[in-house]
């Protein structure tokens, strides 16, 4: 009987694995031109306002996937559409290889629907690839009295933001929490303050495809994570952004590990963008899957390979600040950060102990990443959370250092609303304990968010009309015109992860810098002299 059971199990498993995961990229969006002339039809007013405030363009990627194309793919034999992405104009499908390949012949009104197919099992792709994710839950089981949370709050200086005369506690800021389950958030006393303030704006369960974000009770990871930002128990527990507003999105299926979870994460990020969300907190990571054919290798944590990583980079381009846990693989053979924490556009958070020293489980950066990882760290060992029974307890993981810091960054951005996501990330790095000597364990170190606010008041908000930077966007040469009273100034250019790429001087005669060697993207330029210190975002074409 045992032998028969094994044979039946093997046959069942083989049948499951015959159903391949693939990303099907669609040919176009037939109505995109019409939608872009009327952007309120595809984005909320808050999303439009946020993009306008940070000079983020509205483009083809904001237009939803064409419904007739989705219907055409769904109608094909053997195909199940699991997820869709407007950013990639793609569908995540499940089916046999033959059925998926047949999608290349599907037409709507005589036009081919599918332009290309990318299998999660990269050995099936037409182009050769060495691609080889078990998610990493990043967890192992105005005048506030912070109680148990005192150390994790004061370590990063967010208490000083809360107690500022303007009370920077997250008011007016919107956060999307992308996670695994939000059990009892709707009933717990620890979130009563948040509910009374109508701070939960909504949510969606992308796994079970329903709007009841509390119906799934199989995992409470999202509840713990949310508590570190929004939880409140008087005199005992204060989250780092208690007065922000939140959307709750479930994308993680704790029972299985498949590439679909990457696609669902991107769906949630796209919805967050359309709703005008400022910050995404994600305490999820992907490296290996149940089916090893879909797994990544450490070398592929390179900031541009994983589907979720590419999606996170688009979220950054859209003006969202994505805060993601670095991972809990520091003590394992894997060792390094997972996806999407490897993305250049993601602010990746490692973990330290209560005394500020490295927590051994915290995933490290490596030469695989093009930018410094992790970015910074916060307390992730013995972090205090509120569990589903309203008890205050401690848990270990970068799952908790990430939201602790994300909430603090929300408060910082409230204090500095004119800065872009890239500028906020940079000023947080500059405030950190080892900014001048970063490493792969702590990144730039432990930030001081109140110091970041002070630095920014100097660096970003001096009279910016006194210095002219043009053209912006720039191609080959950037001109820096100084005010008459300034004879010479230092000019430094940083990429989105804080790496210095240009360090030079300009004056009234030599006032141009060569930007030709730079890659396309967003950069932060800082111009400094006696009595002058400004910073601004520039775009390299």
Give the pairing of strands 245-250 and 279-282. Answer: unpaired
Instruction: Write down the catalytic residue from 227, 399, 420, 533.
Output: 399
Q: Is 399 a catalytic residue?
A: yes
Q: What token pair was written down for 328? A: 């809990």
CB 491 within 8 A of CB 525: yes
Element (DSSP H or E) covering residue 94? strand 90-95
Q: What token pair was written down for 523? A: 């950069």
Q: What token pair was written down for 169? A: 């506690």
H helical segments located in 126-201:
150-154, 158-162, 192-196
Rounded CA gap, 452 and 253, in Å?
37
Task: Give the CA dihedral 139, 184, 354, 409, nearest 10 degrees.
Answer: 90
Instruction: Write down the catalytic residue from 118, 121, 136, 179.
Output: 179
Rounded CA gap, 485 and 480, in Å?
14
Element (DSSP H or E) covering residue 314? helix 307-317
Chain centre to alpha carbon of residue 117: 25
CB 157 within 8 A of CB 448: yes
Q: Is 179 a catalytic residue?
A: yes
CB-CB neighbours of 520 under 10 Å: 9
CB 175 within 8 A of CB 279: yes
Neighbour-count burial for 168-178, b at 16+ CB within 10 Å, e otherwise = bbbbebbbbbb
CB-CB neighbours of 150 under 10 Å: 15
User: Cα 153–377–450 angle (5° rounding)?
Assistant: 45
Q: Kindly report each contact of residues 104-109 with a partner whose C-beta sits within 8 Å and lies 24 or more positions away, as own/partner.
A: 106/72, 106/73, 106/76, 107/72, 108/68, 108/69, 108/72
CB 46 within 8 A of CB 276: yes
Q: Is 387 left (phi over 0), alpha (psi -120 to 50) or beta?
A: beta
Rounded CA gap, 388 and 188, in Å?
7
Any bridge partners for residue 347, and if so which?
Answer: 323
Q: What token pair was written down for 263? A: 């696609």
Instruction: Write down the catalytic residue from 221, 227, 363, 456.
Output: 221
Chain centre to alpha carbon of residue 93: 24
In angstroms, what CA-CA distances link 511 with 398, 517, 519?
45, 18, 21
Omega within 30 of 0 (cis) for the link into 471: yes
Identify which of 372, 338, 370 has the alpha carbon closest to the alpha carbon of residue 519.
370
CB 416 within 8 A of CB 456: yes
**3-state DSSP assignment of residue 164:** coil
Q: Which residues are catalytic?
A: 179, 221, 399
């Amino acid at each position: 009987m045992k032998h028969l059971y094994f044979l039946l199990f093997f046959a069942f498993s083989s049948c499951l694995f015959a159903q391949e995961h693939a990303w099907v990229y669609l040919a176009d969006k037939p109505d995109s031109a019409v939608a872009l002339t009327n952007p309120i039809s595809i984005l909320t007013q808050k999303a439009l306002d946020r993009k306008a405030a940070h000079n983020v363009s509205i483009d083809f990627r904001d237009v939803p996937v064409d419904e007739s194309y989705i219907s055409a793919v769904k109608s094909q034999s053997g195909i199940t559409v699991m997820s869709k992405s407007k950013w990639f104009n793609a569908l995540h499908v499940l089916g046999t290889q033959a059925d998926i390949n047949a999608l290349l012949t599907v037409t709507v009104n005589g036009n081919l629907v599918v332009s290309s197919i990318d299998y999660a099992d990269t050995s099936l792709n037409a182009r050769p690839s060495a691609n080889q994710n078990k998610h990493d839950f990043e967890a192992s089981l105005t005048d506030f009295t912070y109680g148990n949370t005192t150390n994790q709050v004061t370590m990063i200086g967010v208490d000083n933001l809360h107690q500022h005369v303007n009370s920077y506690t997250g008011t007016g800021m919107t956060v999307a929490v992308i996670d695994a389950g939000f059990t009892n958030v709707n009933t717990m006393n620890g979130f009563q303050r948040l509910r009374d303030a109508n701070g939960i704006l909504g949510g969606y369960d992308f796994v079970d495809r329903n709007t009841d974000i509390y119906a799934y009770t199989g995992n409470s990871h999202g509840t713990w994570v949310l508590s570190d930002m929004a939880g409140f128990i008087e005199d005992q527990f204060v989250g780092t952004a208690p007065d922000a507003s939140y959307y709750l999105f479930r994308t993680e299926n704790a029972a299985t590990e498949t590439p679909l979870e990457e696609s669902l994460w991107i769906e949630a990020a796209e919805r967050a963008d359309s709703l005008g969300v400022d910050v995404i907190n994600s305490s999820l990571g992907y490296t290996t899957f149940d089916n090893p054919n879909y797994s990544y290798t450490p070398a592929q944590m390179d900031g541009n390979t994983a589907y979720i990583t590419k999606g996170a980079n688009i979220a950054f381009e859209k003006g969202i600040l994505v805060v993601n846990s670095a991972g809990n693989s520091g003590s394992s053979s894997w060792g390094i950060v997972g996806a999407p924490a490897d993305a250049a556009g993601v602010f990746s958070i490692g973990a330290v102990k209560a005394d500020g020293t490295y927590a051994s489980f915290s995933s490290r950066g490596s030469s695989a990443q093009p930018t410094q990882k992790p970015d910074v760290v916060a307390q992730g060992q013995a972090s205090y959370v509120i569990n589903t029974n309203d008890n205050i307890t401690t848990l270990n993981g970068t799952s908790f250092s990430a939201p602790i810091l994300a909430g603090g960054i929300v408060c910082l951005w409230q204090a500095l609303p004119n800065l872009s996501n890239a500028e906020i990330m940079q000023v947080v790095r500059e405030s950190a304990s080892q900014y001048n000597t970063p490493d792969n364990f702590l990144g730039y170190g432990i930030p001081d968010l109140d110091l970041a606010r002070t630095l920014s008041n100097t660096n970003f908000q001096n009279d910016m009309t006194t210095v002219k930077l043009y053209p912006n966007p720039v191609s080959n040469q950037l001109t820096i015109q100084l005010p008459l009273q300034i004879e010479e100034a230092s000019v430094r250019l940083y990429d989105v992860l804080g790496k210095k790429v240009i360090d030079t001087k300009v004056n009234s005669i030599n006032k141009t810098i060569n930007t030709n060697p730079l890659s396309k993207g967003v950069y932060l330029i800082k111009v400094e002299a006696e009595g002058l210190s400004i910073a601004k975002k520039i775009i390299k074409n």
